[in-house]
Amino acid sequence: MKVKVFFHNRRKLISFVILGIIVRLIFAILFTHSFDFFNILVLIKSVADTGNIVEGFFVVKKIMSLDIQLYGKIYYQLAAVWLNILDFLKIIDIRYIFDNKGYTEAESYLSGFGQWSPPLYQLTSIKLFQFIYDFIFLFYFIKIATLIFGPKYNKYLVLFWALNLPMIYVGYAMFQSDLAMVAFLIGGIYYAIIASKENSKIMSRSILLMLVFFAIGAVIKQVPILFVIPFLMVISRSVKSFMISSVFFGFCYVLLSQSYLKDGALMKQFFLNSEESLALFHFRLNDVPIFLVLYLLFTIGVYIFRTHIQTNNFHIITISTILLLIVFISEDMRYFFVQFSIWIIPFLALLTIKDFRFRTFLLLLL
């Protein structure tokens, strides 16, 4: 009876979630951005076969003859787990993804890459892994909205998620890591809002979870690392708490980034120090990156108004949006790709609920 009442009271929410699932399945079947998806899939297969990205990296570099932008190794590792699950279920055979045999030696590895691709049903089954990140995002997105506005707008936000074409395209056509990063960023922001109302003198459970979510997101793609210092300024109740939390984040980041492993040098060169990652620092004023100036001013402003920020949950959303705008303003347009738009779309949706005048900016990105 309770189950029946639960579903009856949430029938619109559930119907919108089902709509979102159907739209994503259709997209996954009909659209494949072969350049991005296949390059990422090669690296995932390399992790599944060898435990690292090295072999797959050099295959992609040889075939594509382009500079490669890597993402955090954990992104490939989690997707490799999914490949192994599909292999166990006999939906795919990892050995024959871009190859005609299992891994034996580097010279003949992935001999079919650039010549053929897995069948459509296998490509679609691989893309389903993105539902994990999609549901993490949706769960915390609705939790944040409920904290700020109550439940009255939840059905509209679920519908917004269901028909959010940029997020669907990035996740299910391109198979890019941005959806995963945004999911963990949103989760971290939810715990930051909770922590801003607590009075823990050292490090509460909410702060711990915020830092873990930010660390996972930053390992996948580095944007969430920018949120750590400003957010700790707002939610830390003492210098000791700030320092302990910072050290804990650093520990999580180093542990999850796995820079000490065989492919650590590649990750450093083609992820942390790549042209795309350093594009934030290209625009300079008197040889000082504009981003550093804006970020410093932003951090000082957050520190000065930290008490005011704590008074309203929505202020966390506001400073998050401002921080992402600083990133966009500072970004070298040569490296500003379509998938970056999904970083800020959830925040603009929440801002639009608060003030309908923001709808113009939201519609431009949709």
42-76 pLDDT, tens digit per residue, is 889 888 888 888 788 777 777 766 667 778 889 99
The whole-number pLDDT of residue 334 equals 75
Asked whether residue 255 falls in the same domain as residue 303, the answer is yes
Asked whether residue 56 falls in the same domain as residue 42, the answer is yes
Asked whether residue 186 falls in the same domain as residue 330, the answer is yes
Q: Rounded to an integer, what distance in angstroms lies between the CA atom of residue 225 and that of residue 235?
A: 16
The whole-number pLDDT of residue 198 equals 81
Q: Confirm whether 23 is domain-assigned.
A: no
64-73, 250-259, 325-334: range with lowest mean pLDDT:
64-73
Q: Confirm whether 271 is domain-assigned.
A: yes
Query: For residue 240, what are the CA distances in angstroms to 18, 128, 246?
Result: 46, 43, 10
Asked whether residue 156 falls in the same domain as residue 275, the answer is yes
Asked whether residue 244 falls in the same domain as residue 161, the answer is yes
The whole-number pLDDT of residue 65 equals 62
Asked whether residue 291 falls in the same domain as residue 210, the answer is yes
Q: What is the mean pLDDT of residues 297-314?
A: 91
Domain count, the chain: 2
Asked whether residue 103 falls in the same domain as residue 158, the answer is no
Amino acid at 286: N
Flag whether pLDDT at 333 surpasses 70. yes
What's the predicted TM-score (pTM) here?
Answer: 0.92
Flag whether pLDDT at 262 surpasses 80. no
Flag whether pLDDT at 200 surpasses 90. no
Q: Confirm whether 57 is domain-assigned.
A: yes
Q: Confirm whether 10 is domain-assigned.
A: no
Flag whether pLDDT at 347 surpasses 80. yes
Asked whether residue 98 falls in the same domain as residue 229, the answer is no
Long-range contacts of 116-125 (CB under 8 A, 24+ apart): 117/34, 117/38, 118/92, 120/29, 121/91, 122/86, 122/91, 122/92, 122/97, 123/32, 123/37, 124/25, 124/28, 124/29, 125/86, 125/91, 125/92
**Which residues are within 8 A (CB) of 331 and not within 5 positions of it... i.e. 6 or more apart?**
279, 280, 340
If one compares 6 and 244, the residue with the highest pLDDT of the two is: 244
Asked whether residue 88 falls in the same domain as residue 40, the answer is yes
Q: Enter the tokens of residue 277.
A: 């990652």
The whole-number pLDDT of residue 128 equals 95
Q: Using CA of residue 95, residue 270, residue 59, residue 174, what is the dihedral sign?
A: positive
Asked whether residue 194 falls in the same domain as residue 221, the answer is yes
* % of the chain exceeding 70 in pLDDT: 92
The whole-number pLDDT of residue 366 equals 53
Q: Confirm whether 335 is domain-assigned.
A: yes
If one compares 46 and 185, the residue with the highest pLDDT of the two is: 185
Looking at every residue in the chain, the average pLDDT score rounds to 86
Q: Which of 87, 112, 127 is the last residue of a domain?
A: 127
Amino acid at 283: F
Q: What is the mean pLDDT of residues 85-108?
A: 83
Asked whether residue 135 falls in the same domain as residue 172, the answer is yes
Q: Confirm whether 21 is domain-assigned.
A: no
Q: Enter the tokens of residue 113.
A: 């890459």
Amino acid at 274: S
Asked whether residue 145 falls in the same domain as residue 270, the answer is yes
Q: Which domain covers residue 49, as residue numbers?
A: 31-127
Q: What is the mean pLDDT of residues 89-96?
A: 90
Q: Rounded to an integer, what distance in angstroms lies between the CA atom of residue 27 and that of residue 92?
A: 20
Q: What is the mean pLDDT of residues 111-120?
A: 81
Q: Confirm whether 4 is domain-assigned.
A: no
The whole-number pLDDT of residue 359 equals 62
Q: Confirm whether 219 is domain-assigned.
A: yes
